[in-house]
Amino acid sequence: MKKTKRFIVGIAGGSGSGKTTFSRRVVRECRKSGITGQIFSLDNYYRPLSHLKFEERKAYNFDHPEAIDFDLALEHLRQLRDGRGVNQPIYDFKTHTRRKATLPCFPAQLIVVEGLYALYPPELLALYHYRIFVSTGLATAVLRRIARDIAERGRGVEDAKHQILSTVLPMHETYVKPTQKNAHFSIDWDGEDVPEKATEGLVSMVRDFFR
């Protein structure tokens, strides 16, 4: 049986940089060309914290690379690359731990690995055909992060601000930003609209791969 080709992209960037929005746009545009695509979000792979009390979970440093279960993420990504489905964990950001249920995930032609630390572990870097880092201005990123944490993750304004000052910004400078050197291409995105040229360039690359 002929093995199906897969194109794996790593897209990293700071919190609120727009990497998730960019990833979704790329997958959507590739689908218009008949290329199946999926987003492999590292947000699903935060370590389970059910052994901690809720207040301890709220104070946990989710912005440190050790918060991610890279071993499981790597195992699942390799399985998808090899054409096997996986059951991804589902992380509940309101309770700050994994749910008991899992999410069936089936391999697509295009796999976009997206997350703060998508360009951090050497083992992940070795799997990618292309690597992108998305950066944005501090003010824009902070506003996006606060809005998301309030709307989607059950945090209050003060909690969100405290987390940004205590963990988000320090971890960005120490761990996230240095991974930009691992990217083939960097996107500076400080507006509302998804960068069209960067989208078109990556989509064109994926199309060429499958011709």
**pLDDT of amino acid 144:** 76
Band (pLDDT 50/70/90 cuts) for residue 78 is very high
User: What is the per-residue pLDDT across 8-38, written as a single tens digit (0 to 9) for each?
Assistant: 999 999 888 889 999 999 999 999 999 999 9
Q: Which residues contact 197 (CB under 8 A, 6 or more apart)?
A: none
Q: pLDDT: is 79 or 95 the higher one?
A: 79
Sheet arrangement for strand 130-135: 37-41, 110-114, 7-13, 130-135, 185-188
pTM of the entire predicted model = 0.89
- Categorize the per-residue pLDDT at 209 as very low, low, confident or very high, splitting at 50, 70 and 90: very high
Beta strand pairing call for 86-92 and 97-105? antiparallel
Whether the Cβ atoms of residue 86 and residue 76 lie closer than 8 Å to each other:
yes
CATH topology of domain 7-209: Rossmann fold (3.40.50)
**Per-residue model confidence (pLDDT) at position 2:** 41
- 109-159 pLDDT per residue, tens: 999 999 999 999 999 999 999 999 999 877 777 777 777 777 666 677 777
pLDDT, tens digit, 9 for 90 and up, residues 156-195: 777 777 777 788 888 999 999 999 999 999 998 876 677 8
Window from 24-28, 50-54, 68-72, 111-115 with minimum mean pLDDT: 50-54
3-state helix/strand/coil string of the chain: CCCCCCEEEEEEECCCCCHHHHHHHHHHHHHCCCCCEEEEEHHHHECCCCCCCHHHHHCCCCCCHHHECHHHHHHHHHHHHCCCCEEEEEEECCCCEEEEEEEEECCCCEEEEECCCCCCCHHHHCCCCEEEEEECCHHHHHHHHHHHHHHHCCCCHHHHHHHHHHHHHHHHHHHHHHHHHHCCEEEECCCCCCCHHHHHHHHHHHHHHCC
- CA dihedral sign of residues 108, 110, 113, 114: negative
Q: Nearest-CA neighbor of 97 among 69, 124, 64?
A: 69
Higher pLDDT, 190 or 42: 42
Query: What pLDDT is attached to residue 154?
Result: 64
